[in-house]
Amino acid sequence: MSGQALDRIRIVLVRTSHPGNIGAAARAMKTMGLRQLWLVAPEHFPDPVAAARASGATDILDRAQVVESLGDALQGTVFSLALSARRREWSVPPVGAREAVGQLLPLTRQGEVALVFGHEATGLTNDELALCSQPVMIPTDPAFSSLNLGAAVQLLCYELRMAALAGAPAAEAVPPDNLATFDEIEGFHGHLLQAMTESGFYEPSNPKRLLPRVRRLFGRIRLEREEVNILRGILSALQRKT
Amino acid sequence: MSGQALDRIRIVLVRTSHPGNIGAAARAMKTMGLRQLWLVAPEHFPDPVAAARASGATDILDRAQVVESLGDALQGTVFSLALSARRREWSVPPVGAREAVGQLLPLTRQGEVALVFGHEATGLTNDELALCSQPVMIPTDPAFSSLNLGAAVQLLCYELRMAALAGAPAAEAVPPDNLATFDEIEGFHGHLLQAMTESGFYEPSNPKRLLPRVRRLFGRIRLEREEVNILRGILSALQRKT
């Protein structure tokens, strides 16, 4: 079970600027038995510095998927954690790494999941964070929270391995059976945006904080496939009456 | 309690060859709130490469104690863990990092304790290992156990911080400020039922499981007052177009 679960976890690095950090992440992953590295618009890749820092984990680099947007890297996933150094005003509050990994691991039985790490200096944009299911934080000392990207990947991969080795998922946390995938949820958000715009509730010229608030609301639910169908059915019925 | 406990833990690096690893260890320590770095016969120290990799944790380097032997670094300690990558024939069997840290932390009430890391390539000698109370191992993938020294320090300091925080009262789990009341949520469900009925999506004569499913969906999160207002605003806008 543990190996299978770890094979279904994507480590996604977004707009990484230093190739050494990509290599360090590959090494960190391999020591903990993870294999799937996804790179969103890396500044330099492939790069000899990445290969040198990978130090024997070059197979992870060779098989890395390079894509253009975070949405591409999340296609087909059923859950994603986003590392967040700071608390954002409009997002779901972050949970600690150990707890978050305890949520994520059982969901590998339903499909692929992702752990997303932003740019070294600027992190993830608010739009990128909004694509992910749950922010996660590493409980560093508030007086000095400057974790290197490779170190952050190392800590989260370690927690994943520890959780996988612990085996049986926590009995209370039975995950819902039939989670919607990233693309199904994005389809719902697209439909909702269209209905809100048509009806005049959402004014693109005066967006205020409406879209982030709506994403934060539905992002907390972890929608099931059937629930997405119900919500879209309600929207379609209301639109038809128009 | 947590801060005091962490102040009583010495991170001891023995015969480290690369000064970059000393800097990375200092940074890893500081992110987790540890302060005491002891260096046994480092090959290069002080060194600008160490300072660069410390990245803001140079105060840890400035106060590092440089000594000649592991025995010097362990003077006055009441317990010590030694990181051991491989099982030695004659030593005490190693315990996992999480369990070992659980043993170590309470002993800080009795005096200083140490966590000892050997040379990058060759580890600790048998004589050095014999000076320590207990070997500890990080449960890496047996097929690729090549943890960087900085990464090993990072993982153990993280476990120390997690254990120290577990002893402190949980500061988190602050509930959202502005939860909707029962009657506001019921008002939303009444409004949604009306909109679903008007639009023909809900047929009272053939209810199936629609209403319980909708309640289960929105019942999984604790809606805030502002979110109820947004949801009802969307419904009203779609109804007005009707």
Q: What is the pLDDT of residues B53-92, one digit of tens each?
A: 999 999 999 999 999 999 999 988 888 999 987 666 555 6
Q: How far is Cα of residue A88 from the mean position of the Cα atoms in its chain?
A: 16
With b for 16 or more beta-carbon neighbours within 10 A and e for fewer, the B186-212 pattern comes to eebeebbeebbeebebbeeeeeeebee
Q: What is the mean pLDDT of the segment spanning A19-24?
A: 97
Task: Please answer yes or no on whether A200 and B241 come within 8 Å at the CB atom.
Answer: yes
Question: Hey, is the C-beta of B24 within 8 angstroms of any chain A C-beta?
Answer: yes
> Between A139, A158, A196, which is nearest B165 by CB?
A139
| Band (B126; pLDDT cuts 50, 70, 90) | confident
User: Residue B175 pLDDT > 50, yes or no?
Assistant: no
What per-residue confidence (pLDDT) applies to B127? Answer: 85
Question: Hey, is the C-beta of A85 within 8 angstroms of any chain B C-beta?
Answer: no
What per-residue confidence (pLDDT) applies to A172? Answer: 40
Find the range with the poorest average confidence among A139-143, B101-105, B171-175.
B171-175
Residues 173-232 of B with CB under 8 A from A: 174, 192, 195-196, 198-201, 210, 213-214, 217-218, 220-221, 223, 226-227, 230-231
Task: Please answer yes or no on whether A230 and B238 come within 8 Å at the CB atom.
Answer: no
Question: Hey, is the C-beta of B35 within 8 angstroms of any chain A C-beta?
Answer: no
Task: Please answer yes or no on whether B151 and A146 come within 8 Å at the CB atom.
Answer: no
Task: Please answer yes or no on whether B31 and A151 come within 8 Å at the CB atom.
Answer: yes
User: Residue B242 pLDDT > 60, yes or no?
Assistant: no
- Closest chain B residue to A202, measured at CA: B234
- Closest chain B residue to A24, measured at CA: B148
* Tokens standing for residue B165: 């925080």
Cα–Cα distance, B242 to B229 (Å, whole number): 20
What per-residue confidence (pLDDT) applies to A242? Answer: 53
User: Residue B241 pLDDT > 90, yes or no?
Assistant: no
Question: What's the pTM?
Answer: 0.82
What per-residue confidence (pLDDT) applies to A68? Answer: 97
Distance of residue A63 Cα from the nearest chain B Cα, in angstroms: 17
Q: What is the mean pLDDT of the segment spanning B34-42?
A: 98
What per-residue confidence (pLDDT) applies to B176? Answer: 52
With b for 16 or more beta-carbon neighbours within 10 A and e for fewer, the B53-84 pattern comes to bbeebbebbeebeebeebeebbeebbbbbbbb
What per-residue confidence (pLDDT) applies to B88? Answer: 62
Question: Hey, is the C-beta of B32 within 8 angstroms of any chain A C-beta?
Answer: yes
Percent of chain B with pLDDT over 70: 91
On chain A, the residues whose CB falls within 8 A of the CB of B142 are none
What per-residue confidence (pLDDT) applies to B131? Answer: 85
Cα–Cα distance, B100 to B103 (Å, whole number): 5
What per-residue confidence (pLDDT) applies to B87? Answer: 61
- Closest chain A residue to B193, measured at CA: A234
Q: Which of A55, A137, A165, A217 to mutate to test the interface with B (most CBs of B within 10 A)?
A: A217
